[in-house]
Structure 1
Amino acid sequence: MSDALLLLPDFLLIVLGFLLCRYSALGRPVWDAVERLVYYLLFPVLLFNSIIRSPLAIGATLPLAAAGLLIVGCGIAASYALRRCPGVDPTLHASGAQVAFRFNSYVALALAEKLGGTQGVAWTALLVALCVPLCNFAAVWPLARHGGHHFWREILRNPLILSTVAGLVANLLGIRIVDPLAPALARIGQAALPLGLMAVGAGLKLGGLWAGPRLAAGLLGIRHVLLPLVALAAVQLLRVPPAQQPVVVAFAALPTASSAYVLAMRMGGNGPYVAGLVTVSTLLGMASIPLWLAALRQLA
């Protein structure tokens, strides 16, 4: 499948979720429940199952892990730096900074399977395991500082962190899931991606994006231009194995996390502004990921 068509099935699922939410009896309350089901059960099971089923050779995955942490670290530093730009509203920045470095894990794992099969999913699950805690910490920090909230409780209760850490520990200890539990877990995990992608579509809205258009351009520029460029450099400098390089570049070019809106609302940020950023980032990601993968092939 060509890069241009690589994300078409996933994009169609996002469009389907958008249409169902707005033009059918399956309105917003239904998708709120779907999001909770995916976030608290289906997606953690998928992450756990993906990690535990694939051997993790530390030597082979160390450059991959380093590249992922470098990409996220650059995104965090660049997004925090925007706070110092003249005219940036502190509330908008605290709410939207997370958009520049967080990533949509549903799209990541759906894409990983196409790029590298089961092994690609395991590599991406490892990136998620390492980067989700860092991203959550960095996303909560400006909101907590701005609104006076505590962030450790949110981090320690995050189901994605718990499931990925549990999967890594079980993998390193050599624990394997036996029948009939293994097929049941696999089927639960398989339901996460289509439902998660449709839930992304159901949540799309432009809302209050125009409250800070210059800040929005900066945050989206980091997410969809700077981080893929960092990835292209990182896979060469860190000598990431060729089979893992498309996974790293796709990871860097992903649309931002759809749950950014939920976090902003829960911690007193500007929810409509973040919803607009998530919507534009989703559209940009679907268009730009094939372009960055093509750029990787040109450099190979």
Structure 2
Amino acid sequence: MGSEPLSGPGDPKEPGRGVILPDVNYVQLLFPDFSLIAIGYLLCRYTALNRPVWQSVESLVYFFLFPVLLFQSILRTPLDLRAASGLIGAGLCLVLGGVLLAALLPRLPLLRRYIDPRAHAASSQVAFRFNSFIGLALAERLAGAPGVQLIAVLIGVCVPLCNIAAVWPMARHAGRGFLGELARNPLIIATASGLTANLLGFSIPDWLAPSLSRIGAASIALGLMVAGAGLQFTSLAQGKVLTVSVLTIRHLVTPLMAWGLARAFGLGTSETLILLAFSALPTASSAYVLAARMGYDGAFVAGLVTLSTVLGVASLWLALGLLG
């Protein structure tokens, strides 16, 4: 799965050192996610499995399946924070940069009049959240087990920050208590507890691991199908400026930021490669579930998730093919 010419995470930091990338078919990599979104859309629109059915599935995904998957994903790989301090710093700066750019959109003079504040509160998360499951698969293709370890560190430290930044504008706009929303949010509880357990040295018992893996697989499939079931393409036409803005940040600006941060932090070859791949991932499929559960326009966010999955092919090519 990995490519032997890649240097390991502990190799010398030689910015000019050549890297031979494995032959990665980005369309093939992203097709499973996109196909599941499409299946959910078709089932909801053209079969007896209509919207009321999917609302129950949405609750199951949000309150049980996704939290279990996030906890397992963070806990299953040991996090060596000291060895990857430069990568962690670059990753946190990357996410914070995306959060800041997304927050500034309704304050920009040229965009302010075209952006609905409520729609922005729900969809700004698309600009900085990421699909960690695609990231894990891609890291293994690019750098084998060392690549998985590196991106697991990024996921562990960035997922809690992304979830907090996603909840904040929606809680504030809806007039809800921010701390109360955080305390009740199952995704934040799962990621925070997973990170804490990981740092304390806990691990998943062997007898429990297969069950958790199957729950994780179910959460990915059902989460993407739920996003497809809630999709309404007409909703995207009502927020064209917002759509273009958040997706530009996610798929163009963020990879360029990662390229600069890798040099600013003096990252080694493998760390740079993983950071660039991390920066170009499609947005998290759970963005739709979070927006819908907090009472916002889930159909609009589901449309953004779909477009982001398609645009992930272009941004991965940009990050790894050109910047890499």
TM-score (norm 2): 0.77
1:15 and 2:58 correspond? no
8 Å CA contact retained: 2:143, 2:270: yes
Give the match for residue 132 of structure 1: 159
Residue in 1 aligned with 2:24? 2
Give 1:53 deviation, angstroms.
3.1
SS in 1 for 2:66: helix
Query: Which residue does the alignment assign to 1:161?
Result: 188
Counterpart-to-counterpart distance in 2, 1:286 and 1:201: 19
Q: Is the 8 A contact 1:137 1:151 kept in 2?
A: no
Check whether the contact 2:132–2:155 (CA below 8 A) recurs between aligned residues. yes
Counterpart of 1:284 (choices 290, 303, 311) is: 311
The letter of the residue matching 2:301 is V
Q: Note closer, same or farther for the CA distance 1:286–1:16 as it changes in structure 2 (3 Å cut).
A: farther
Question: How is 1:81-120 mapped onto 2 (pairs within 5 angstroms)?
Answer: 81-86=104-109, 87=113, 88-116=115-143, 120=147
Residue in structure 2 matched with residue 187 of structure 1 by the alignment:
214
The answer on 1:174 being equivalent to 2:201 is yes
2:190, 2:237 → 1: CA distance?
A: 37
Cα deviation code 1:241-275 (max 9, x no counterpart): 43343432232222333443444455554545434
Match of 1:79 in 2: 102
Paired position in structure 1 for 2:6? none
Please identify, of 223-232 and 104-113, the stretch whose mean Cα deviation from structure 2 is larger.
Answer: 104-113
Letter in 2 for 1:53: R
Q: Does 1:230 align with 2:281?
A: no
| Partner residue in 1 for 2:178 | 151
Identify if the C-alpha distance between structure 1 residues 266 and 189 changes in structure 2 by more than 3 Å, giving closer, same or farther: closer
1:182 and 1:280, CA in 2 relative to 1: closer, same or farther beyond 3 A?
closer
Letter in 1 for 2:175: G
Q: Which is helix-richer, 1 or 2?
A: 1
Q: Secondary structure at the match of 2:166?
A: helix
Confirm whether residue 243 of structure 1 aligns to residue 270 of structure 2.
yes
Q: Separation in 2 of the partners of 1:109 and 1:35?
A: 24
Alignment: residue pair count: 297
Q: Secondary structure at the match of 1:7?
A: helix
